[in-house]
């Protein structure tokens, strides 16, 4: 088994991100990890913070047992903290939290309480640092993501179509939108690295139509490029039919059914990638244990459709699919922001 050594260039990349997160000499920073975290990234976070003159400390949790019937991947909802009060208190007081848990704190149940105390959280996605160093974000990306998030917040209707047969209608009124450009410098906020994504969590009963995944689209839960088409029919947010003759559709049907939970069939969020440095083919370049697929979520012009939990619609479940699709057209109130998989020049 190949063991990676610490590289100075990776410490440099971590320092660049932490500087954008407004880490200053003397600042206290918590590095949250679990026993199965990628040790290399935990170590790099510590060395970078020390190089910057910060005062880091570690919070290491035992990776909890998987109580579900199927493997859990790419949920963004780490269960490592286990609602332990002393851990939550330590993270609240840290000011800056470097999240190196496997799934990350984005949708974790403890996160709102931590953020409410004024801490800011940087989720370092469970990627090999070679991917992270390629995707250190810049101010231009921040500007574009902010503009896209603003546009989505003012949108009443999203329409998604494709030559493969997608015809999806999303009522965006009241949707909650999040833009992530790769760092956070404001108290009470969370971001993840890599960034370059904008997503909206629509309210209940707002999504209807047909979604067709074509060969070459991606199921990130399975870390797999599709080899055959998958057709989903959605009614009032729920996948009511999932059709397809190949292995991809069969695996998706089996995984969804295994949860025994209707909410696993519901829509979590919709959005699109905006990072010009994110590579579509990257999933084929890493072993499965070396990637969490965040780069693929950020590929410029992909339509990021996800099933599973949506707290803004009152739906909670551990079942989750992230499904980037590459050839769609996305219209916001009639304005095409993505056309045939190409991000349009409408965000500056």
Q: What was the pLDDT predicted at 244? A: 97
Under a CB-based contact definition with an 8 Å cutoff, are residues 149 and 122 in contact? no
Of the candidates 179, 181, 182, which has an alpha carbon nearest to the alpha carbon of residue 149?
A: 179
Tokens matching residue 282: 């990257």
Which of 152-156, 206-210, 293-297 is the least confident region? 293-297
Confidence check: pLDDT of 172 > 50: yes
pLDDT in tens, 244-302: 999 999 999 999 999 999 999 999 999 999 999 999 999 999 988 889 899 999 999 99
Q: What was the pLDDT predicted at 2? A: 59
Q: What was the pLDDT predicted at 1? A: 43
Q: What was the pLDDT predicted at 138? A: 87
Percent of the chain past pLDDT 90, that is, above it, reads 87
Confidence check: pLDDT of 315 > 90: no
Distances (CA, A) of 254 to 228, 243, 260, 310, 329: 16, 12, 11, 22, 29
Tell me, yes or no, if the pTM score tops 0.85: yes
List, in order of start, the domains of the chain with CATH numbers. Answer: 8-124 (3.40.50.2300), 138-181+194-343 (no CATH)
Helix (H, G, I), strand (E, B) or coil at 107: coil
Of the candidates 321, 312, 322, 332, which has an alpha carbon nearest to the alpha carbon of residue 204?
A: 312
Q: What was the pLDDT predicted at 67? A: 84
CA distance 156 to 230: 28
Under a CB-based contact definition with an 8 Å cutoff, are residues 231 and 242 in contact? yes
Query: Mean pLDDT of all residues in the chain?
Result: 94
Residues 6+ apart with CB under 8 A from 323: 213, 217, 218, 219, 220, 304, 305, 306, 307
pLDDT in tens, 49-84: 999 999 999 999 999 998 888 887 777 788 999 999
Under a CB-based contact definition with an 8 Å cutoff, are residues 297 and 270 in contact? no
In the chain, the largest separation of any two C-alpha atoms, in whole Å, equals: 59
Distances (CA, A) of 46 to 87, 135, 159: 18, 20, 44
β-bridge mates for residue 343, sequence order: 338
């Amino acid at each position: 088994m190949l063991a990676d050594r610490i590289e100075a260039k990776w410490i440099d990349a971590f320092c660049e991100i932490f500087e954008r997160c407004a880490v200053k000499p003397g600042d206290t920073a918590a590095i949250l990890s679990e026993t199965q975290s990628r040790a290399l990234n935990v170590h790099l976070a510590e060395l970078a913070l020390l190089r910057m003159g910060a005062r880091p400390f570690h919070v290491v949790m035992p990776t909890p047992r998987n109580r579900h019937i199927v493997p859990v991947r790419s949920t963004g909802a780490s269960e490592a903290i286990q609602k332990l009060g002393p851990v939550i208190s330590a993270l609240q007081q840290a000011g800056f939290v470097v999240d190196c848990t496997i799934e990350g704190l984005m949708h974790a149940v403890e996160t709102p309480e931590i953020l409410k105390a004024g801490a800011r959280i940087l989720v370092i996605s469970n990627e090999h640092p070679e991917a992270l160093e390629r995707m250190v974000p810049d101010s231009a990306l921040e500007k574009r993501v902010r503009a896209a998030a603003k546009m989505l917040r003012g949108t009443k209707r999203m329409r998604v179509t494709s030559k493969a047969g997608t015809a999806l209608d999303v009522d965006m009124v009241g949707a909650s939108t999040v833009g992530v450009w790769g760092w956070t410098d404001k108290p009470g906020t969370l971001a993840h690295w890599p960034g370059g994504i904008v997503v909206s969590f629509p309210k209940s009963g707002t999504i209807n139509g047909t979604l067709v995944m074509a060969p070459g689209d991606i199921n990130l839960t399975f870390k797999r490029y599709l080899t055959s088409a998958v057709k989903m029919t959605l009614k009032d947010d729920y996948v009511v039919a999932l059709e397809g003759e190949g292995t991809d559709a069969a695996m998706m049907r089996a995984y969804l059914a295994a949860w025994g939970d209707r909410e696993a069939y519901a829509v979590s969020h919709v959005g699109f990638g905006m990072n010009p440095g994110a590579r579509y083919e990257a999933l084929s370049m890493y072993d499965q244990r070396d990637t969490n697929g965040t780069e693929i979520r950020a590929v410029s012009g992909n339509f990021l459709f996800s099933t599973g939990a949506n707290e803004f619609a009152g739906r909670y479940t551990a079942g989750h699919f992230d499904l980037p699709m590459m050839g769609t057209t996305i219209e916001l109130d009639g304005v095409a922001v993505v056309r045939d998989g190409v991000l349009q020049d409408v965000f500056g």
